[in-house]
Amino acid sequence: MTIPFKKYHGTGNDFIVIDNTKDFFSANSPKTELLIKKLCHRHFGIGADGLILIERAPGVDFRMRYFNSDGRPGSFCGNGSRCAVAFALSNRLIKGGKTLFLTSDGHHEAAVTKQDGIVTHVRVNLKETRMPDAVADNMYFVDTGSPHVVLFVENLESIDAVAEGRQIRHQKQWAPDGTNVSFVKHQQDGKLYVKTYERGVENETLSCGSGAAAAAIAAHHRAGGAQQAYTVTTKGGELRVAFSPPAEKGSAYRNVSLEGPATFIFQGEFSRNGI
């Protein structure tokens, strides 16, 4: 059996995306975990940070099932969800520029921007996000659908995101599932520069959407002020995070959105027997 796929990236965070409305994959099978791990391998497979299955679900345009490159189900993926929307539009699973879809953490709305008929940007609305928890000096925990430790640093270039991120990711206080780790430089002009170590990929990725959102929310909580939108620069490009700050102490960040490019790379098919 051959299975068609498309590959997308969101600011360098890349994904294999498959229309699973014909049940090519059984999402809960141990064989599926091994297959996804092989498909995401950058030398022996297609190569990706994760794999996304697009499926039917009642009351929404589609359901997105996300798997990290280790083959295991992942939590909410910001860049992956934007790529899933672009894929669903290209496969005519949605019509128009707006959609409602389902992920591991519930329902999300999204809007698409096109130029000359080609998707250029996708904006996804995230869930309400509780105020960051201070962990240590300049370190916060933020859950934007995926857990992130956000660490503010002065010299981002000197940070070894893999070595330092892995050490924090496996600390006992984040057991048993661990956490993602984002290192952030907050410029005086309000811009953020971010490196993220992602659990499940077990490496630094070129970009992380939920990490960008966590960095922006932590930056606002730490600095205060009137800024309600941040440009977040990753190794793979720029993302925009906007939100409504908590109305009162102890309440949540509302109207959180993540916007950036969702880029089609190539398409093909693979044989399950050949992987």
The pLDDT value given to residue 248: 84
Choose, from 64, 77, 206, 232, the residue flagged as catalytic.
77
**Cα–Cα distance for residue pair 100/61, rounded to 1 Å:** 6
Task: Verify that 240 and 220 share a domain, yes or no.
Answer: yes
φ, ψ of residue 130 in degrees (nearest 5):
-65, 155
- Can you name the residues that pair with 109 across neighbouring β-strands? 100
Alpha helix positions (H), 118-208: 161-169
Class of residue 116 by CB neighbours under 10 A (exposed 0-12, middle 13-18, buried 19+): exposed
| Residue-averaged pLDDT of the chain | 94
One domain, residues 139 and 252: yes
Question: What is the tens place of the pLDDT at every residue in 197-217?
Answer: 999 999 999 999 999 999 999
Q: Are residues 193 and 229 in the same domain?
A: yes
At residue 27, the pLDDT reads: 65
Catalytic residue among 83, 151, 194, 208: 208
Highest mean pLDDT among 99-108, 224-233, 264-273: 99-108
pLDDT above 90 covers a percentage of the chain that reads 85
Helix or strand holding residue 209 (H, E) = helix 209-223
pLDDT at 133 over 70: yes
CA–CA separation, 176 and 174 (whole Å): 6
Neighbours of 76 (CB within 10 A): 23
**Which residues have C-beta within 8 Å of that of residue 228, sequence separation ≥ 6?**
220, 242, 243, 244, 245
Q: What is the pLDDT of residues 211-254, one digit of tens each?
A: 999 999 999 999 988 899 999 999 999 999 999 999 887 789 99
Indicate whether 177 and 227 sit together in one domain. Answer: yes
Task: Classify residue 105: in a domain, yes or no.
Answer: yes
pLDDT interval class at 118 (50, 70, 90):
confident
Examine the domain organization and report whether 7 and 110 are in the same domain: yes
Q: Is residue 114 part of a domain?
A: yes
Q: Which of 21-30, 74-83, 146-155 has the lowest mean pLDDT?
A: 21-30
Parent domain of 141: 133-260
| pLDDT of 56 above 90 | yes
Pair 156, 244 in one domain: yes
**Residue 128 within any structural domain of the chain:** no
Mark whether 253 and 167 lie in a shared domain. yes
What is the rounded CA–CA span in Å between residue 91 and residue 213? 28
- Asked if 161 and 213 sit in the same domain, the reply is yes
Segment 123-130 shows an average pLDDT of: 97
pLDDT, one tens digit per residue, over 8-47 is 999 999 999 999 998 887 767 778 899 999 999 999 999 9
The answer to whether residues 145 and 234 belong to one domain is yes
Per the CB < 8 A criterion, the answer to whether 229 and 242 are in contact is yes
pLDDT above 70 covers a percentage of the chain that reads 99
Residue 87, phi then psi, degrees to nearest 5: -65, -45
Q: Is 126 exposed, middle or buried (0-12, 13-18, 19+ CB in 10 A)?
A: buried
Q: Is 208 a catalytic residue?
A: yes
Residues 140 and 239 in one domain: yes
Domain CATH code at residue 110: 3.10.310.10
Name the DSSP letter for residue 157.
G
Give the confidence band of 268 by pLDDT, cuts at 50, 70, 90.
very high
Q: Decide if 204 is inside a domain.
A: yes
- Do 266 and 245 lie in one domain? The reply is no
pLDDT of residue 3: 92
Specify whether 83 is catalytic: no
Same domain, residue pair 140 and 104: no
Higher pLDDT among residues 95 and 8, named by residue: 8
Band the pLDDT of 136: cuts 50, 70, 90: very high
pLDDT at position 275 is: 59
Spatial neighbors of 26 by CB under 8 A, at least 6 apart, are 32
Q: What is the pLDDT of residue 132?
A: 96
**Spacing of C-alpha 82 from chain mean position:** 8
Please give the tally of structural domains in the chain.
2
- What local confidence, expressed as pLDDT, does residue 274 receive? 58
